[in-house]
Structure 1
Amino acid sequence: MWRRILSPPVISRTVLFWRSLYTMQLKSSEFQSLFTDGLNGLAEVFAKHQHELRIAGGAVRDLLSDKRPEDVDFATTATPEEMKHMFQTAGIRMINNKGEKHGTITARLHNENFEVTTLRVDVQTDGRHAEVEFTTDWQKDAERRDLTINSMFLGLDGTLYDYFKGYEDLQNHKVRFVGSAEQRIQEDYLRILRYFRFYGRVALEPDDHEPETLAAIKENSRGLAAISGERIWVELKKMVVGSHAAHLLELMYTLELAQYIGLPPEGNVEEMKRVWQNARDHSPKPMTILAALFHCPEEVEKMDLRLKVSREEKNLALFLVKYRRELCKNEDKPDSLALFTDFIIDSRELDTQSKVCELLKYQGEEKLLAQLQRWAIPRFPVSGHDLRRMGITSEQC
Structure 2
Amino acid sequence: MRITGEWIARPETQAVCAMLTDAGHEALFVGGCVRNALLDAPVNDVDIATDARPDRVIALAEQAGLRPVPTGAEHGTVTVVSGHVGHEVTTFRRDVETFGRHAVVAYSDDVRDDAARRDFTMNALYARPDGEVLDPLGGLADLRARRLRFVGDAAERISEDYLRILRFFRFHAWYGDPDEGLDADGLAACAAHADGLETLSRERVGGEMRRLLGAPDPAASVAAMAQAGVLAHVLPGAQTRALPVLVHLEGGRPAHWLRRLAVLGGEEAETQARALRMSRKESRALVTLRAEMAGTRSPAELGYRFGGDLATDIVLARAALFEAPPPEGWERAVASGAEAEFPVRAADLMPDYTGPALGARLAELERRWIESGFALSREALLA
TM-score band by shorter chain is 0.7 to 0.9
Contact 2:304/2:340 (8 A) holds in 1: no
Alpha-carbon RMSD across the aligned residues, in angstroms, is 2.4
Structure 2 counterpart of 1:182, from 155, 172, 176:
155
State the 1:217 CA deviation: 1.0
Change (3 A) 1:50 1:156: same
Change (3 A) 1:284 1:68: closer
Q: Which moved more, 1:301-310 or 1:79-88?
A: 301-310
Structure 2 counterpart of 1:127, from 97, 100, 104:
100
Q: Deviations over 1:146-174 (max 9, x none)?
A: 00000011011222111111100111111
Indicate whether 1:294 and 2:265 are aligned: yes
Structure 1 counterpart of 2:38, from 40, 64, 69:
64
Taking the aligned partners of 2:61 and 2:74, their CA distance within structure 1 comes to: 17
Structure 1 counterpart of 2:311, from 330, 344, 356:
356
**Corresponding residue for residue 166 of structure 1:** 139
Contact 1:123/1:133 (8 A) holds in 2: yes
Structure 2 counterpart of 1:92, from 66, 69, 72:
66
Change (3 A) 1:207 1:33: closer
Q: Deviations over 1:186-222 (max 9, x none)?
A: 1111111111111112223245223222211111111
Change (3 A) 1:376 1:269: closer
Contact 2:294/2:318 (8 A) holds in 1: no
**Corresponding residue for residue 198 of structure 2:** 225
**Corresponding residue for residue 279 of structure 2:** 310
Q: Deviations over 1:256-282 (max 9, x none)?
A: 112322x12x22322334333323622
**Corresponding residue for residue 377 of structure 1:** 339
Sequence identity (%): 29
Q: Which moved more, 1:133-142 or 1:280-289?
A: 280-289
Contact 1:284/1:361 (8 A) holds in 2: no
Contact 2:3/2:132 (8 A) holds in 1: no
Residue ranges of structure 2 left out of the alignment (5+ in a row): 320-325, 345-383
Taking the aligned partners of 1:284 and 1:316, their CA distance within structure 2 comes to: 15
Q: Deviations over 1:90-122 (max 9, x none)?
A: 332223x33111111111122221111111112
- The within-5 A match list for 1:120-159 is 120-159=93-132
Residue ranges of structure 1 left out of the alignment (5+ in a row): 1-23, 330-335, 345-351, 383-397
Q: Write the letter of the residue equivalent to 1:190.
A: L
State the 1:53 CA deviation: 0.4
Q: Deviations over 1:319-345 (max 9, x none)?
A: 11111122443xxxxxx53x334434x
Q: Write the letter of the residue equivalent to 2:331.
A: L
Q: Write the letter of the residue equivalent to 1:292.
A: V
Contact 2:29/2:126 (8 A) holds in 1: yes
Indicate whether 1:210 and 2:172 are aligned: no
State the 1:374 CA deviation: 7.5
State the 1:318 CA deviation: 0.7
**Corresponding residue for residue 247 of structure 2:** 276
Taking the aligned partners of 1:188 and 1:75, their CA distance within structure 2 comes to: 21
Contact 1:125/1:188 (8 A) holds in 2: no
Q: Write the letter of the residue equivalent to 1:93.
A: R
Q: Write the letter of the residue equivalent to 1:306.
A: A
Q: Deviations over 1:296-319 (max 9, x none)?
A: xx5222223322122222212111
TM-score (norm 1): 0.78
Taking the aligned partners of 1:325 and 1:305, their CA distance within structure 2 comes to: 22
Taking the aligned partners of 2:337 and 2:291, their CA distance within structure 1 comes to: 24
Change (3 A) 1:110 1:167: same
Taking the aligned partners of 2:179 and 2:209, their CA distance within structure 1 comes to: 17
Secondary structure, aligned partner of 2:339: coil
Secondary structure, aligned partner of 1:81: helix
**Corresponding residue for residue 45 of structure 1:** 19
Q: Which moved more, 1:66-75 or 1:201-210?
A: 201-210
Contact 2:259/2:313 (8 A) holds in 1: yes
Secondary structure, aligned partner of 2:49: strand
Q: Write the letter of the residue equivalent to 1:314.
A: S
Change (3 A) 1:246 1:37: same
Change (3 A) 1:45 1:140: same
Q: Write the letter of the residue equivalent to 2:313.
A: E
Q: Deviations over 1:120-149 (max 9, x none)?
A: 112222223323221111000000000000
Contact 2:54/2:91 (8 A) holds in 1: yes
Contact 2:289/2:314 (8 A) holds in 1: yes
Number of residues of Structure 1 aligned to a counterpart in Structure 2: 337
Contact 2:303/2:336 (8 A) holds in 1: no
Taking the aligned partners of 2:3 and 2:138, their CA distance within structure 1 comes to: 20
Change (3 A) 1:64 1:220: same
Q: Write the letter of the residue equivalent to 1:62.
A: N
Secondary structure, aligned partner of 1:133: strand
**Corresponding residue for residue 57 of structure 2:** 83
Contact 2:213/2:257 (8 A) holds in 1: yes
**Corresponding residue for residue 246 of structure 1:** 219
Change (3 A) 1:57 1:284: closer
